[in-house]
Structures are given as structure tokens and as C-alpha cells.
A and B are shown apart, each in its own frame.
Chain A
Amino acid sequence: MSVAELKEKHAAATETVNNLRERLKQRRQQLLDTDVAGYARSQGKSPLTFGPTDLLCCRTLQGHTGKVYSLDWTPERNRIVSASQDGRLIVWNALTSQKTHAIKLPCAWVMTCAFSPAGQSVACGGLDSMCSIFNLNSQTDRDGNLPVSKTLSGHKGYVSCCQYVPDEDIHIITSSGDQTCVLWDITTGLRTSVFGGEFQSGHTADVLSVSINGSNSRMFVSGSCDATARLWDSRVASRAVRTFHGHEGDVNTVKFFPDGNRFGTGSDDGTCRLFDIRTGHQLQVYYQQHGDNEVPHVTSIAFSISGRLLFAGYSNGDCYVWDTLLAKVVLNLGSVQNSHEGRITCLGLSADGSALCTGSSDTNLKIWAFGGHRRVI
């Protein structure tokens, strides 16, 4: 078979796949008779209202000297780790806003950080294509730096996101610019399984984000520059359980819905979407029309503990609080009083849902909590 023939075949196959995909999409459209907002309205649900004092900035964590790129909470002890452009990780006590650790990274180009479930160690990854684990209890060296306790190397592109497998301090899932996600065993430092890649059906562009299902830690979802999100079973590395189409731009961020049956995505096309992992359907699009033509990218999202609120940070500096049920913006965190001066780059909700932490390009982190007598939602 000659090269030309092969090329022809390939083109034909691609065509077929695209046709099938298009049919699938149409079929889904047909089946999708309503979305969450429509159904909620028909059930007579009223949207949430948020006063300007309902969500208050109660702490400002100052200490970074560069943009904050990523943050993560511990499950219990209310500590936060943040990664910044200045090449440092800082571990904060969110209650007292004190720093408990400042870790100077060997590679300053850090993109992501994560707290281990037990709160004993933090992980970070970045342009060095490695995921570095720091044990917070280890002794600092002569210069006062915390030594790297483990490096997970094997990615061939930057590490864009990492998350510990819940309740396991020894497993971590990373996503990378090499189009793969990897499940690591931290004790051995080896790859347990690689999701995607050359010979497997995986993402076809840089993977930007992962989120592990809180109620079933074997399932995780990944968002990629190929405008899709994929659901994976960490026991089956060969192929994705499901691929979620719908976005028209890079999927920058994915986050599981608290109940574990849905997940949210944020994309360069300016929308956040809610997908159901059981049906594969897209449940809702969250999109706010802007006056100008410029469509701001969604850079990070977080759900409130009940799932009723979706916090979404945009590249133009807005940070909307969506009512997920009625798809209405109830608050813009970017424009409330004592908000960040720069745009909000990362978001994270504490495990008990009582506080939201935002990291910003103005080098600060802020912790927000519900003011007054409003219950945690």
C-alpha cells in the first residue's frame, strides 16, 4: 500500500468519524429536551439573591511576590497551599492567615499545586515536566529550603494540573502538555498508568486540568486543549470511559460536582458547562453575554458544597457566582468591595464548604466566607 493510498484512507476514515460525531451530536440534541435552568423554572424555583454583604472577604493572605497560579485546601485542618510565579509554594493557615511553610522551588515555573489528603505533603508541577512532592515535616536544609522528597518524572510536557487521589497519600494524578494524564505511585515514584498518549484513544492536545470524583475516587475527568473533556476509570488506562464534546475552545478547567454524578467545565469559549457522567449529556451552559466582542476565557471554577453555586473566574478579571440551578449570575466577586486588584486566577473551596479562597494576579489570596446569618450553601 503506498503512502498516497494510506493518506486517502486516513482522510476517508477521518471523514467518517466526523460524520458519526456529527450524527451523535444531532441525536443528543434531539434527546435533550430541556436543560437544568428550564426545568428548574418550570418547577417554579426562584433564583438565589445575593446582597453585597453576603459573601465577605475575611482574610487576605499576603506573601507572594508574583502572580498566584494555583491553590489547594487540605481536607481538614484549614490550610492552603498556593503556587506563584515567584517560584514559591506557600502553605498558609487559613484561619490565622499565617504562613507555615515557604518552599522555594528548584524550577520557578510552577503551574499547579496540591495538598495531600493527610495534609503531610504538598505536590507541585510546572514547566519542568515533573511533579515534585514536598514533605512538610522534613527538615529544612542549610539555606532554609525544604528539600524535594520525591520527583515524579516521566511526562514529556509541562505538568498542568495535579490532584491527590482522595484518602490516599500515595497516589496522585497529573495532567500534562504531552496529551496524557498519569496516575503515579508516590512511594516508588513510578507511573502506575498512563491515560492517553500515542497509541491510545486519549486527548489529542495538551491536557490542562483533572478532577477526581469525590464519591468514587476511581473516576476522574480531564479537560484538554482539544475542546473536550474525558472521563477516565483509573483502572482502565487504555481508553476513556466517555468523551464530552460541546465546548468550542480549550477546556481550561474541570471540576467534579459535589455529588459525583456531574462535573463542570470552564473553557476559552467563555462558557462554563455542566455535564452528566452517566448519560454523557450536557446539562447546562453558563454564559454571560458581554457588551464587547471580546469573549473572556474561563480560567478556573469551583462548586459550593451543595452545588448550588458555581464560582467561575474569567480572564477579564470577573469572577461570577452562578446559580447553577437557574443559570443566573448572582454576584460578581471581581467587582465587590475589597476584591482583588488583579484578575482572579484560581479558586478553591474548603472541604467543609465554609470558605472560598481566591488567588489573583495581584499576588494576594483572599478568603471569602458567607457573611451574616446566611447558611452555607
Chain B
Amino acid sequence: MPPKEAIVLPSVENVEDQQYSFAVEYTGPPVTYDLPRAVPINVEKIPVAAVVSKVPLSDTELHIPVVPPILATDRNKFSKELLLQPTVSPTSVIAFEERVSEDTNNCLLSGELSSYESGELAELINNNDSSSRCLAACSVSNEHSSKLDSCDCFDKSRGSSSPARISNDNLNQPDWGSNESVLSLDYPSSRVSSLKIGDCNNESNGDVRRPQVVTFRDIESDDGLDEEFSQDEVQAQVVRVQKEPQTKGKKGLCYRCFKGNRFTEKEVCIVCDAKYCSNCVLRAMGSMPEGRKCVTCIGFPIDESKRRALGKCSRLLKRLLNDLEVRQIMKAEKLCEANQLPPEYICVNGQPLCYEELAILQSCPNPPTKLKPGNYWYDKVSGLWGKEGQKPSKIISPHLNVGGSMRPDASNGNTQVFINGREITKVELRMLQLAGVQVAGNPHFWVNEDGSYQEEGQKNTKGYIWGKAGMKLVCAVLSLPVPSKSSNPCGESLNSMNSRSVPDYLEQRTLQKILLVGSPGSGSSTIFKQAKILYKDVPFSEDERESIKLTIQTNLYGYLGILLDGRERFEEESSAEMRERRSSKDTEPEAGSSDDADSKTIYSVGPRLKSFSDWLVKTMVSGNLEAIFPAATREYAPLVEELWKHTAIQETYNRRGELEMLPGVASYYLERVVEILKTDYEPSDLDILYAEGATSSNGLACVDFLFPQSSPDENIDTADQHDSLLRYQLIRMQARGFGENCKWLEMFEDVGMVIFCVALSNYDKFSADGTNKMLLSRKLFETIVSHPTFDQMDFLLILNKFDMFEEKIERVPLTRCEWFNDFHPLISRYRTNTNSNSINNNPTLGQLAFHYVAVKFKRLYSSLTGRKLYVSHMKGLEPNSVDAALKFASEILKWDEERVNFSLSEHSFYSTEASSFSH
């Protein structure tokens, strides 16, 4: 019968669908409810009636399709467990036996076990509010296999000595078996196992734990969960906004098309519980930016009863969408903000939590597992944690500052025995008795997180509750928590380290490190600053700005000093010139009186300013500028203002081209000297960008950044969007540390790529010892490229200061640097006609030269390493240019990851990449 039914129903449905699909087309907008409701009901009634009437076995028929899938899954699980049990249970008893023999507590423990069998189990099964166990059941079933594995290992190590005895125990009493398996599981891993007992109960009750088909789960579990939830609501005293679905159809119908029956697969909205059939689900839920929510429910908090279903995909969705989409939706569902547990739904010691407290709770080394809304009590001293009015369920990290203070009746105990001011439950009392704690006379105990306890008002520690060998077993039997393994008494610092190091470690996986190096003056610091400004919300902290401000001011005094130095020189020159002219003009010199007046040239200053400038120059020469100036700013600001406005300085400034010491950026600051040297000066981003030596004073600087989401006009596919979430770390190493050995380079073996920065405009500059700066850069480049640490590293050469280069190349031939002496550009005859040559695809001299230099470096690189070099040009002061170059770097990194897949087209890709970028 069932197979026949199965054939009939789909066919009917199919016919329905086809007819019905027209109706859907007409009534697309859900605003007009009356029309669609009227029509489908009419249409539906006929086939429904037909089906039902056709099949005579109305009730039993209905059940048959329900039961088989459940039974099937259950049976699978059951059989699996049965299969596994022989491997599990021996270990349990062996472990158990050994322990018993060790402790010579035989009768006590076995008595405990039997009592547990009769009393506790029944209690557990009867326990209506098995929410936490239900919840944990999922996780346990997930972990099941791995745990069993660990048991296996254990089995091997222990050796299987007496399997016979156990097997009869087990097979005769399946309930026992499951309990035993729980115990055995507990022993090696020492995990909280009360959950697993709940799990077993669930199974025996025939609950559906992880139904594959959504429909069944809804029908079966809705009631129970809702009920439980309403209880929670009352307890929590928080008014929840339960969002109702906009339309509500008959039970089992799709909420949108009002069709189908309870056996058609449906997807449920995790907010309003609306169910949609496969035809409607995509239309009702759209692109699911927050997971499976109706479009109208987006942004609303989810139905708490569905929390555990978060991120668990249904078969229906898998059929409708491709793998990648499903994965993304599930990820969004789990991680998006609206779906997170609202903190105010969790009450700890009668006080709803705030965000910070929830974060503390969830990020502590031993967080409560599967936190659900509700009322909890938390013993801050011992770390005991449980539901309000119940015994402890877990021992979490102690001393967390969450919630209020614990009430004595938090766990609703009636034993007159207190632990840390909480009256404990009977079960706990039992545990204490088994642990050998003297509980006569209703004592009050202080219990610390490591299990050490003392009587209230006394100093000496009386013992350790969990110290005894069998206590974990006892706790497991009583379904009481034991401290998790990591919180052993060896120290909390270790504990906290464990919990921190893991996320850090994971973070490192997604962090791509880029090392930025360059010889001094190559502008690598500008790139670094530019990256900070580009990608950070707050590029420079207050402290940084303050120190940068001081650097800029000190620099400025330095520039002033150079100017004053130049002024002195010009003054001498011009006065000498004047004297010469005079001596040549009038042969008889008029002594004395005229000398003073005549020596005054336009470069002369008054005595007050003169003394200041002398002092400034002297300080600068002796190298104490940094020590004196930032502090002296307030004092000298007016003096500097006066000085700057003086014609002598202005004249000198006009001849600044002759002062080779004065760097190019000096004029940028000197023009605004008065403003900058005020104490309340706030450097702008541009000021910072221009500032010399404003990145961390020495050594290394690094910045973490994300590339911001690309603007909407760039159409990138979803995979790319995912990639853009990659974090990058730009590490700039100052060139000062580059000895010929570069001992420190091996510290950077884990970087993803190296960006080497060269200032193009340096081709005509020479260092102090007369070497061309370009050649120095080349030498450094050779050292780094051929360093064994960077054996298979990708290099991106950035030819910086392209703007200055373009301008300079017109004046100074590239052949000034001997490395480039075979540069013979082909210059078009029509070049003079058009200024914007690039439009006509007619490269400028600068572009030609850039290509030439790039090729020079590429040849050098490939002769050293046999690989290809990526080259890009850049104008360090233009954000877009830096952005483009860094994006190019990230592309290389991405490409690098995928290179394995594309190794065929490697050559063509390489060559086009570099050239296509160099526009």
C-alpha cells in the first residue's frame, strides 16, 4: 500500500503544481490576501478531497509515512549504537573494575550504580524539563563518533581483559548498556556526562533528534519546545516579541501558496515559524541575508526554540541552491548579529545580562555550553553553574563578573547545607557524602574553583572535593558536573592562555602578511602611512598624532635651520660681492662709518633674530635638535613667526633651490610655518603623509587592514566578496637595519610576499660616499631577493615617486645612472602635438623609462632567482595609486593560492599581469 500511495500522491501534486503555478504568477504581491486565499482553497479542496477519499485508510495511512522515516533514522542510530556497544562497554567495565579495585570501594560504588539505575534514571526520564539535555543531545550526537574513537584507544591501551561479563550485562539490558557507555565515555574524557544520559533518554523515548526532514521536526517538536519556552519566558520576566507570521494557513499547508500537506517538505522561517514549500521558499525568503527568514522577518531576533537549528541546513535548501550558496546562507544564519543570543534573555542570579557580560561569559575559558535564554545561578567562587532552582549543571570559569549575587535558594535546595552561601540540593549532598566530606551538623562550606573546600569562618583547607579518584565517576552517576580538564590546579594563567591562543592562532590563518622594504628615501614609509589612512577608520591614534606633531615641528625647525644656515652663506656672499663691487666702484674706501651700513644686505637680520638663528644653527649642527625643540615650541613660536616674515628669510627661501640639504617636502611645511609651529596645531592626514620620519621611530611598524568592500559598480562574484574579508598585515621594516647580512630577514619567513620599494626619481641622486642611490637600491634588492629565507617568495617591485620621475626625466637623462646607460627611447615625432599622450596610446618619456627600468629589474630578478618579478609603479602621495598597488599585491597573493590549480597558464598570466597593470 504505501508504495502505491507514494506514487499517487506526487502525481496529484504535480498536476496541482502545474495548475497552481499560474495562480501564483497572478498574485505575486502578498498585499492582496483575499484573492489568493479564495482561489487556492477552491482548487485545493477538490484534490485533497479526492486523495483522502481515494485512500480508505485515513488514519493509519497518515501514520505510515510519518513513522517510517523516523524509524528508519532511529533504527540506523540504534543499530549503530548496538554495533558499537561491544567496543564501548568493555572499556567501561574494565575502567570501572580497575577503579574499584584501586579504591577498594567496591560495594559503595556498585551500590551507587544500582541506586542510580532505579532512582535516578527514572527521575531523569520523568524529568519534564530536560531542555538542557535535549539541547546537548545534538552536540553529543555530533561528537559521538569521535568520543567512541577515544574509547577505542583507551580500550587498546588498557587491554581488553574481561569482555564476556560485560557483554551479557549489556545485551540483556539495553538501558544499562547505554548507561554504561555513558560512564565509559566519561572516564577517559572526563567530560560532563549528564547530557549524554539525557541523550539516551531521548533516544529511548523515540524523540527525533536531528531530523533530516524539516516537516517532521516541526510537527513533533514544536509543542514541547514552545511549552518549555513559555516557561522560560515567565521565569526570565522579559517580554518577548514573538513575531507572528503574516499569514497563517491551515496546519501543514505552505504559508504562501496554501497548498501541500504536512508531508510535503517545507522550510521554516526561524523568526515567525512560517513554513514554505519548495516552490515558495525562495520567493518568501529572498536571498536570505540573515539565513532562513521571511523577507519581512529580516532583522528580527530569531525564535529561541530554533536556535539549535541555526546553521543546520535542510535537504530542501540543498536541493534548491548550490553548495556555495547554502554554505553562505548557513554561515550568515549562524553569525549575523540579529541571530545572536540577546543578552537580556539570560538572567544570572536574577539579573539580566548586558552585552559585555554575555561576552565575558561566552569568551571565558570554560563557557557554559549551549547557552539558552533562561534564569541561571552562578557561583562566582567555585564556578558552579546551573538553572535557577536546579542542581548545578556545569562548572564554568570562576570569578567572572556577570550577573548579580547568588541567592541562598538559587538551586532550591532543602538540605540545610550551604556551599558558598547556596543551599545545596540533595544530589549534591549525596555527592559530598561520597566525597568523604563531613556534612553532619549542616555546615556551611566555601568551595574554590579547584575543589578545595573549607568550613565557613575557618582558615584551613579541609580537602579537595574532586580530588578523590572515584569522584568523577560518582559525579557522572549523579549527573553532577566536574571541573573540566583544563582547569586543573596548575594555574589559571595556563588556562587563560589556552583559551586565548586558539582564536589567535586561527586568526593568523586568515592573516596575509606583506613585508614592505625599501632603501631609505624610497617612500616605503609614505606607502605605509597611506595604507593606514586608506584602510583604517582611525589611521593615527591620539598619541601617534601627538608624536607626529612633534616630529613635524622638529623637522620644521631643522628646515629653518638649513634656511638660516643658507642665509648666513648668502649674506657672506652678497656682502663680499657688495664689498668687491664697492671696492671696484670707488677706489678710495671710506673707512669705519660706512662699513656697518654697507654690510647690510637683503640677507641681514637684526641682532635678536641673529642670535636666535645662530643658536638654532648651532643646535642643529650639534645634533641636539630633537632633544630641545618640541618642548621649546611654545617659547619660540612668536620668534619664528617674526623670523619667517623677515625679508632676509624670504629672500633665502626664494633661493632654496641652491640649498641642497633642504629636502623637497620642506617647502610644503615652510609655507605654513607659522601655523604649524603653534602649540595647538593639529596635523592633517596630508601633513602626516608628507612628514619625514613620522612612522615608528625605529625598526618595525605593522598595520592590519581589510580592503574595504568594493564600490557597487564593480561587479564581483560572491567568491571575491568572500576573499575581500581576508585580513592583511603590512609590515614595514625600516632600512636602517639592513646590514649586508640581514640576519633578521629570517624572522619574516612566514610572510606571503615581499614588496620592495624603489624611488624611481633617485636615478640621479648620490649617497654620501658617492654611490648612485639607484645602484644602492639595486644592491639591497639583490641581497634581499637572494636571501635563502625568501627562496620561493613572490616579490612585487614598486617603482615609487613616478610623478617626480616623469617630471625629472624631461630634464635629466636617465643615463645619469650608469646602470641605465643603454636607454635609448624611441620618441615619436608627433609627441609634441599632444600633451596627454596616453590617450593616443603614445607613451610619454616617463612611461617609456618606467618600462625600461622595470625590465631592468625583471631581468636582474630572473637572473638571480629564475622567476618572474611583479612590477607596479606608484605615486606615493596619491591614495588611489597606493590603493591600486596594494590591491595588486593582494591579487598576487590570491593568485598565488590558486596557482596550484592553474599551473598550466602560468607564463602567459605572469607577463600580461605586469604589463596590463603598468598603465
Residues of A within 8 A of B (CB): 63, 65-66, 85-86, 88, 96, 98-102, 104, 107, 109, 111, 126-130, 140, 143-144, 153, 155-158, 160, 177-178, 205-206, 208, 225, 250
Contacts and interface: CB of A to CB of B under 8 A. Distances in A.
Contacts of A140: 493, 496
Given A100-B494, A111-B744, A225-B743, A157 B505 contact: no
Contact of A156 (B493, B497, B736): B736
A98 B494 contact: yes
A127 B737 CA distance: 9
Contacts, number: 91
A226 B488 CA distance: 50
Contact of A157 (B504, B699, B747, B750): B699
Contacts of B736: 156-157, 178
A98 B493 CA distance: 11
Contacts of A65: 501, 505
B491 interface: yes
Contacts of B500: 102, 104, 143-144
B826 to A, nearest CB: 40
Contacts of A130: 699
A206 B743 contact: yes
B2 interface: no
A109 B700 contact: yes
Contacts of A63: 497
Given A102-B493, A104-B504, A156-B736, A129 B698 contact: yes
Nearest to A142: B360
B739 interface: yes
Contacts of A98: 490-491, 494
**Which 3 residue pairs of A and B lie closest in terms of their CB atoms, listed nearest first?**
A129-B699, A102-B497, A144-B496
A364 to B, nearest CB: 15
B743 A250 contact: yes
Given A85-B747, A127-B733, A157-B736, A206 B700 contact: no
Given A127-B733, A144-B496, A177 B743 contact: yes
A128 B699 contact: yes
Nearest to B748: A109
Interface in B468-499: 490-491, 493-494, 496-497, 499
A102 B741 contact: no
A201 to B, nearest CB: 18
Interface centre among B696, B747, B750, by most chain A C-beta atoms within 10 angstroms, is: B747
A205 B739 contact: yes
Interface in B677-713: 696-700
B744 A102 contact: no
Nearest to A101: B493
Contact of B493 (A100, A129, A206): A100
Nearest to B365: A144
A127 B743 contact: no
Nearest to A110: B747
Nearest to A252: B743
Nearest to A66: B750
Contacts of B501: 65, 88, 102
B698 A155 contact: yes
B747 A250 contact: no
B168 to A, nearest CB: 43
A144 B495 CA distance: 10
A49 to B, nearest CB: 36
Given A104-B504, A128-B700, A157-B699, A205 B497 contact: no
Contacts of A101: 493
Contacts of B744: 109, 111, 127, 158, 160, 177
A289 B529 CA distance: 50
A160 B739 CA distance: 13
A158 B748 CA distance: 14
A63 B490 CA distance: 15
Contact of B737 (A86, A99, A143, A157): A157
Contact of B743 (A88, A100, A155, A160): A160
Contacts of A109: 700, 744, 747-748
Contacts of A96: 490
A208 B739 CA distance: 12
A160 B743 CA distance: 9
A85 B740 CA distance: 23
B403 to A, nearest CB: 18
Contacts of B493: 99-102, 140, 144
B737 A100 contact: no
5 contacts: A63-B497, A85-B750, A126-B747, A129-B699, A206-B741
Given A109-B747, A178-B737, 10 more contacts: A63-B497, A85-B750, A102-B497, A127-B733, A128-B696, A143-B500, A158-B744, A205-B739, A205-B740, A225-B740
Contacts of A100: 491, 493-494
Contacts of A128: 696, 699-700
A127 B741 contact: no
A10 B737 CA distance: 25
Contacts of B697: 129, 153
B494 A99 contact: yes
A140 B493 CA distance: 9
A250 B748 CA distance: 20
A36 to B, nearest CB: 29
A86 B509 CA distance: 12
Nearest to A146: B493
Nearest to B733: A127
Contact of B497 (A126, A144, A208): A144
Interface in B721-770: 733, 736-737, 739-741, 743-744, 747-748, 750
Interface string B217-241: 0000000000000000000000000
A112 B27 CA distance: 73
Contacts of B743: 160, 177, 206, 208, 225, 250
A157 B743 CA distance: 12
Contacts of B491: 98-100
A250 B700 contact: no
A8 to B, nearest CB: 14
B699 A225 contact: no
A295 to B, nearest CB: 14
Contacts of B699: 127-130, 157-158
